[in-house]
């Protein structure tokens, strides 16, 4: 909010007294009431608010679940069933929390793809974007450890497979794995530390979210035209009531989608195998991670070398942080970039297909001619992995240099009203710029 005059006027004596000592009401007013929002935002911009709702929902249901859960290999599975059967509305808390993780990822993937399409990572929003990547990484760690806690078969074997990845690190790999496990196999110490970290990480996410929102409010929101705000009167509307009511409407629509799973399909997004108590002596037929990890699992398995696979998998996420510098185009919004659009949608389809390969057995035949296997799932995943990295390392750097973008609108108001529109606001006014 550094650029904007505060439009907060304390009304009562108490407010004036408090404002001189701790301007907290001013902070809320400036960031949630008068904060100027581009007037042309579409519904893809509501997912930030939806994600905030999901984070709070996960923390609240999680805190209640912890009151009844026992982090011990002998009791964890039993205590989850105790929550389902004996705790008042325990089934609701658990199903909200388990499905909430999936909803969180659905929302975050839409949020990320929106940022990628409209070039929200470009200057001056690089730090905002990188903070987002950090939140995403923390979310993945939190979700992975949370899935281990019910101590079912997939919990146990998922933990075994993923922690074993670290053994690929040369020289110290095995030592690191023993350190992660707290022993020589996935066992009670592993469950305990995962539980501890699963409780800690959401609050770290919350901290980084505050930085993310701070950065957002400092640089201002991007918008579908990608054009900077030029005239606050014409181009923006005050956050309240315009964005508030729109975000609320979108949030309730998302809650309907969420409730569909919680009340009617609560186990659809999980694995039946996780209703079998963990058995270290029995490996499930297919060890498959939760759906939101499948694309990365597909990349991991695409590389025949273990260390190479692990490096590729982590690189596929880390590369997001370099996006602001890999994309050489001066034009922010993909709307005005015909070739970028093709590359972007290819990238989206490839990401989904990578998820498909991650869900399938590696030796499954994808392409056979005359009875001879030409391509199995690994081969298919290799092609997709090449395209995935090609998007970042070839398409984005090159397209910015060779692509001829379409004409940009002169201003945000122009993109909504056409060049002749005045964009006069009848209602409240957004805070005018300081300089």
The rounded distance, in Å, linking the Cα atoms of 158 and 358 is 14
- Minimum distance, C-beta of residue 424 to other proteins, in the bound complex (Å): 6
Tokens, residue 188: 């009670």
Contact yes or no for 274/152 (Cβ under 8 A) = yes
Given the complex with other proteins, which of 166 and 380 has the nearer CB atom? 380
Beta strands 365-369 and 236-238: pairing type? unpaired
- Minimum distance, C-beta of residue 126 to other proteins, in the bound complex (Å): 31
- Minimum distance, C-beta of residue 77 to other proteins, in the bound complex (Å): 9
DSSP one-letter string for 282-323: ---SS----GGGHHHHHHHHHSSSHHHHHHHHHHHHHGGGGH
Q: Angle at CA 257, nearest 5°, toward 255 and 260?
A: 105
Given the complex with other proteins, which of 172 and 365 has the nearer CB atom? 365
Beta bridge partners of 277: 152
Given the complex with other proteins, which of 93 and 191 has the nearer CB atom? 93
Residues found near other proteins in the complex (CB under 8 A): 39, 78, 81, 84-85, 91-92, 95, 237, 241-242, 245-246, 248-249, 252-253, 255-256, 259-260, 262-268, 272-273, 275-276, 285, 349, 353, 356, 360-361, 364, 366-371, 374, 416-417, 421-427
The rounded distance, in Å, linking the Cα atoms of 109 and 119 is 15
Given the complex with other proteins, which of 81 and 187 has the nearer CB atom? 81
Contact yes or no for 154/274 (Cβ under 8 A) = yes
Given the complex with other proteins, which of 205 and 430 has the nearer CB atom? 430
The rounded distance, in Å, linking the Cα atoms of 34 and 66 is 39
Given the complex with other proteins, which of 95 and 336 has the nearer CB atom? 95
Given the complex with other proteins, which of 131 and 250 has the nearer CB atom? 250
- Minimum distance, C-beta of residue 314 to other proteins, in the bound complex (Å): 27
- Minimum distance, C-beta of residue 150 to other proteins, in the bound complex (Å): 11
- Minimum distance, C-beta of residue 129 to other proteins, in the bound complex (Å): 29
- Minimum distance, C-beta of residue 356 to other proteins, in the bound complex (Å): 7
3-state secondary structure 354-396: HHHHHHCCCCCEEEEECCEEEEEHHHHHHHHHHHHHHHHHHHH
Tokens, residue 37: 């929002």
Angle at which helices 47-66 and 90-117 cross, to 10°: 150
Given the complex with other proteins, which of 103 and 399 has the nearer CB atom? 103
- Minimum distance, C-beta of residue 394 to other proteins, in the bound complex (Å): 22
Runs of H (alpha helix) within 67-172: 76-85, 90-117, 126-148, 153-164
């Amino acid at each position: 909010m550094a650029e904007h005059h505060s439009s907060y006027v304390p009304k009562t004596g108490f407010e004036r007294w408090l404002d001189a000592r701790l301007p907290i009401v001013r902070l809320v007013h400036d960031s949630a009431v008068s904060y100027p929002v581009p007037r042309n935002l579409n519904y893809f911009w509501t997912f930030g608010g939806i994600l905030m709702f999901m984070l709070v929902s996960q923390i609240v249901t999680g805190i209640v679940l912890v009151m009844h859960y026992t982090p011990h290999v002998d009791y964890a599975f039993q205590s989850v069933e105790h929550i389902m059967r004996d705790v008042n509305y325990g089934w609701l808390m658990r199903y909200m929390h388990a499905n909430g993780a999936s909803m969180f990822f659905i929302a975050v993937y839409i949020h990320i793809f929106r940022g990628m399409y409209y070039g929200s990572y470009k200057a001056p929003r690089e730090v905002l974007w990188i903070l987002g990547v950090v939140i995403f990484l923390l979310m993945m760690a939190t979700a992975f450890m949370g899935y281990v806690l019910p101590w079912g078969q997939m919990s146990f074997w998922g933990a075994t497979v993923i922690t074993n990845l670290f053994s690929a690190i040369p020289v110290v790999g095995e030592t690191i794995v023993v350190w992660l496990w707290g022993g020589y196999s996935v066992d009670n110490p592993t469950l305990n530390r995962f539980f501890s970290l699963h409780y800690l990480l959401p609050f770290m996410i919350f901290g980084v979210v505050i930085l993310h929102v701070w950065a957002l409010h400092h640089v201002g929101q991007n918008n579908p035209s990608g054009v900077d705000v030029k005239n606050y009167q014409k181009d923006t509307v005050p956050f309240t009531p315009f964005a508030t009511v729109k975000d609320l409407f979108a949030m309730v629509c998302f809650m309907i989608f969420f409730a569909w799973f919680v009340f009617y399909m609560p186990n659809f997004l999980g694995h039946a195998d996780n209703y079998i108590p963990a058995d270290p002596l029995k490996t499930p037929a297919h060890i498959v991670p939760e759906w939101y990890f499948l694309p990365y699992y597909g990349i991991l398995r695409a590389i025949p070398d273990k260390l190479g696979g692990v490096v590729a998998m982590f690189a596929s996420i880390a590369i997001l942080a370099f996006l602001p510098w890999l994309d050489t185009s001066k034009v922010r919004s993909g709307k005005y970039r015909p070739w970028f659009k093709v590359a972007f949608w290819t990238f989206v389809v490839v990401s989904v297909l990578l998820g498909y390969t991650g869900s399938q057995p590696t030796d499954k035949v994808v392409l056979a001619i005359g009875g001879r296997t030409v391509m199995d799932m690994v081969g298919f995943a290799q092609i997709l992995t090449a395209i995935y990295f090609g998007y970042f390392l070839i398409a984005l750097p090159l397209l910015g240099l060779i692509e001829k973008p379409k004409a940009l609108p002169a201003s945000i108001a122009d993109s909504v009203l056409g060049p002749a529109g005045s964009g006069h606001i009848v209602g409240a006014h957004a805070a005018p710029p300081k300089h």
